[in-house]
């Protein structure tokens, strides 16, 4: 490890530690005169104060409703999270993916689910833009075994508790009303704003299959599994176009762009058994 990297690592350790460990982390305890040590401590305190404030602002940008719910406790949460899982890059908008898992270790699952949903909305808003390939819709007259759907970048499916949805819906009017027992939630961006909606079991099974890159026929068959009535594809298509979920229809053999469909959210829970 280079001397510069070691110096930066020591400074970071000093900032994260309390006053008692600051000089020790820098290897300066007992080396500097007393007045110089005091000045250095004051400087480190100022840097630490800025870092604490920055952690709260950055995390609140991705989790505004969680910040509002926790109030003054959110700042302590942000700094604790920063110390355990600091930002990995200069873009602080990318910091926060691990917060739901962090909350599951120390808080109830509803807060963790709420954080997972807020992070998904945040990521959907930051996803690359895409335009509908309207001409490709003509392919839907063909064999569904040979077709697949390409969805908007950033669109994903996750599972969220009723309590977490209710907490978020109190701040997001378009989530009303929250239907109990429908944990599958679709998250996407519409007109540059993150959106979320609950899905019925058949809809969730269909979208899960589409997100996996399956053919249209396979996705339609998946919607009929577990005693589900199946998906009304005509109604789905109208909604998918209206809500800007669907970007293109492609032949199955066209592998380019297959990665455009996102996998299920890493925090997602497997689909519940059919009722």
Residue pLDDT, tens place only, 15-28: 666 554 445 545 54
User: Looking at residue 37, what is its pLDDT?
Assistant: 59
What is the rounded distance in angstroms from the CA atom of residue 67 to the CA atom of residue 48?
Answer: 21
User: Looking at residue 30, what is its pLDDT?
Assistant: 46
User: Looking at residue 191, what is its pLDDT?
Assistant: 87
User: Looking at residue 9, what is its pLDDT?
Assistant: 60
Report DSSP letters for 153-189, one per residue: TT-EEEE--HHHHHHHHTT-GGGPSPPTT--EEEEEE
Q: What H or E segment, with its residue span, contains residue 194?
A: strand 193-198
What is the per-residue burial (b if ≥16 Cβ within 10 Å, else e) of 195-207?
bbbbbebbbbbbb
Closest CA to 248 of 148, 170, 156: 148
| Low-confidence spans in the chain with pLDDT less than 50 | 1, 20-22, 25, 28, 30-31, 256-259, 263-275
User: Looking at residue 43, what is its pLDDT?
Assistant: 65
User: Looking at residue 167, what is its pLDDT?
Assistant: 81
Q: How many CA atoms lie within 13 A of 45 on its CB side?
A: 8
What is the rounded distance in angstroms from the CA atom of residue 186 to the CA atom of residue 245?
Answer: 10
């Amino acid at each position: 490890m280079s001397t510069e990297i070691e110096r930066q690592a020591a400074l970071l350790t000093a900032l994260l530690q309390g006053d008692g460990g600051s000089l020790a982390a820098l290897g300066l305890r007992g080396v500097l005169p007393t007045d110089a040590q005091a000045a250095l401590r004051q400087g480190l305190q100022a840097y630490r104060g800025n870092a604490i404030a920055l952690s709260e602002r950055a995390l609140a940008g991705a989790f505004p409703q969680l910040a509002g719910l926790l109030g003054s406790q959110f700042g302590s949460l942000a700094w604790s999270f920063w110390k355990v899982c600091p930002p990995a890059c200069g873009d602080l908008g990318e910091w926060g993916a691990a917060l739901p898992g962090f909350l599951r270790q120390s808080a109830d699952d509803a807060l963790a689910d709420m954080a997972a949903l807020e992070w998904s909305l945040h990521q959907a808003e930051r996803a690359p833009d895409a335009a509908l390939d309207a001409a490709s819709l003509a392919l839907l007259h063909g064999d569904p075994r040979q077709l697949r759907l390409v969805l908007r970048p950033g669109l994903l499916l996750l599972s969220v508790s009723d309590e977490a949805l209710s907490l978020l819906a109190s701040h997001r009017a378009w989530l009303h009303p929250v239907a109990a027992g429908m944990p599958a939630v679709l998250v996407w961006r519409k007109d540059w704003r993150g959106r979320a909606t609950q899905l019925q079991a058949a809809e969730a099974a269909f979208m899960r299959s589409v997100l996996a890159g399956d053919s249209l026929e396979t996705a339609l068959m998946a919607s009929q599994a577990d005693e589900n009535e199946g998906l009304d594809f005509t109604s789905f298509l109208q909604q998918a176009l209206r809500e800007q979920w669907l970007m293109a229809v492609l032949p199955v053999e066209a592998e380019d762009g297959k990665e455009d469909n996102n996998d299920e959210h890493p925090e997602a829970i497997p689909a519940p058994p059919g009722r």
